[in-house]
Structure 1
Amino acid sequence: MTTEASTTRAVFKGSLMRNLILATAVLLASVTMAVSVGAVSVPASTVWGVILNKLSPELIETTWSNGRAAIVWDIRFPRALLAAMVGAGLAAVGASLQAVTRNPLADPHLLGISSGGAFGAILALLHTGLFLGLLTVPLMAFAGSLLATALVLGVSNFAAATSADRLVLTGVAISFIIMAGVNILIFLGDPRATHTVVFWMLGGLGLAHWAHLIYPFAILLPCLIWLYLRSSDLNAMTIGDETAATLGLNVVQFRLSVFVVGALITGVMVAFSGIIGFVGLMVPHIARLLVGGDYRKLVPVSAFIGGIFVLWADIAARTIMAPEDMPIGIVTGLIGGCFFVWLLKRG
């Protein structure tokens, strides 16, 4: 029995390692394409030459202009990294929420977490000001996401909507209420500044800067590690609350922990990218088609696929109406809406 268990673990680890190596290769290729494509095309060799030269000066002979170096290092590369982090975070949150709610349609957007993050960010931008410096918008966005999560849980308990499908319906209702509050904030804000909230409402990566990337990275990495370490508990939650409880899991506490971690990731991502919908709904289902429903595989693979998806959505957003940048939320909404219909057709 011990030999069989050891063999199973070895096969699982080998399969997971192959999947992660393949996903990493596709991710690097996607980052290269995202940095290369634009109003000014940059060859892939130049892209990685600039990056390696910045990381280790004088490692590679400089054969490119300062202008191209600035395009790659100061504009496109941080934007690509932010896209990868946003996609990874939203996809991992969507996968974990689908486990604890046992609903395949759960994601940060449908449960109102994204709307709460946007409410906090817009409140900071239009009304309170950056009273905590650069940390004001991320902290306010997180507070908004956490408030939305608390409202969903509180209303579901008040209305006795404890089933998984009714919890999602509660999230949709809370999302509409919060978006009404967002519209009030915009209406009461300075008309000269309200154009800036279009970024948060429709999603975009144009504000990516090196000085800002440390914040989403510092939140995303430990949260992804925590979700992966709790993947066995996520597997138990997909079976049912009673089964998970018989396995020794505190179901209520664990579900609350996942909601808080999801609110933390979503709030910070919304603070730097605006509302990008359907990533958390769509990507976990794609990952399940590829690696199955085991969350030991699903969490890391969803994160990789989410990063790749948002990278390519950003490429599309920058090329469809070049030289203008289309809001990335329009691209993900169009693709995600079609995927949603396909998911409903599958039952």
Structure 2
Amino acid sequence: MAEPTTVHVPLGERAYDILIGNGLIDNAGALLKAKFPGRRFGIVTDTEVAIAQLPRLTASLDAAEVSYATGVLPNGESTKSFARLGEVVEAILAARLERGDLIIALGGGVIGDLAGFAAAIARRGMDFVQVPTSLLAQVDSSVGGKTGINSPHGKNLIGAFHQPKLVLADLDALHTLPPRQLAAGYAEVVKYGLIDDEPFYFWLEDNRREIFAGNAALRAEMVARCCAAKTRFVLADEKETGVRALLNLGHTFGHALESATGYSDRLLHGEGVAIGMVLAHGFSAKLGLAPSQDTGRIAQHLSAAGLPTHLNDIPGELPDTDYLMNAIAQDKKVVRGALTFILTRGIGQAFIEKNVDPAAVHAYLEEVRAIR
């Protein structure tokens, strides 16, 4: 195995490394045994990842003579529920995993969020390792310690901040992703450029084709740059009381659309973020804050990557604008009922805007919905 790229997250006693490279799952047993000697592990994964990646992980654990138990959950956003969380916690207890043992989250963002939350509450707190197998999870959700589940009232409204002990981002796992899943993860990649790194956004425009074609060096650089950016925000604002909220660019609109589609395969999280980022830039332009041409440029880039960029791209009927506004009002960034949005003054110039006028948002959404 070639030496992986390491991004360090220096959080004092809770510091950890993000390893990025090829073959990390195949070598996970030796890595985990060396780093966590004498520990047992509880693997949490889903039905699709269990086919593509679980045999690689268990083979490596067996070769290292490491003890483990395995739990497999249904694939999909609906798994992030109280019911599935309860199943995982009870399985951890039934397997007699002790507080000093570790949970391994093997999967995409859903599994990482759910397994991390289970680790945060089982036996009043267990350590866990993220083994993200989707692009979205490798560049975003596996880093930073945000864990949780969804509520009928909104996405990720129930959870805890619980940092992993290690992240193993195996680039080989990306080869097994369906094109739609790879594109969904790419939306979160683009987000980092749009927030505060214009050169990275231009780099993505220049290299998108080769990245999607599987260029290993470009993929490694892309994931490492995203993890370094995420780490920078986590260090500045671990509990998301300030600047870390910038990482939610496009998410306020996107989460509302996910709610409107029932957290189903009609709209993947990254697809909602893609539409949300276009909406955020369009709304910023409508308010006279950003150049209007940026919205079209971003939409073209995301569309070329296979992502939806307009409400009309979502299959099926959407609830009315009042429903979307109600979902937006449940966003985690709402403070004392006031809407907070991540807006922008241009590519790489995102900022936090508090007390956004709901009437202006409603009118903008109505205007967008009228476009066919």
Whether TM exceeds 0.5 here: the answer is no
Higher normalized contact order (CA 8 Å, seq sep 6+, divided by chain length): 1
TM-score norm. by structure 2 comes to 0.29
TM-score norm. by structure 1 comes to 0.31
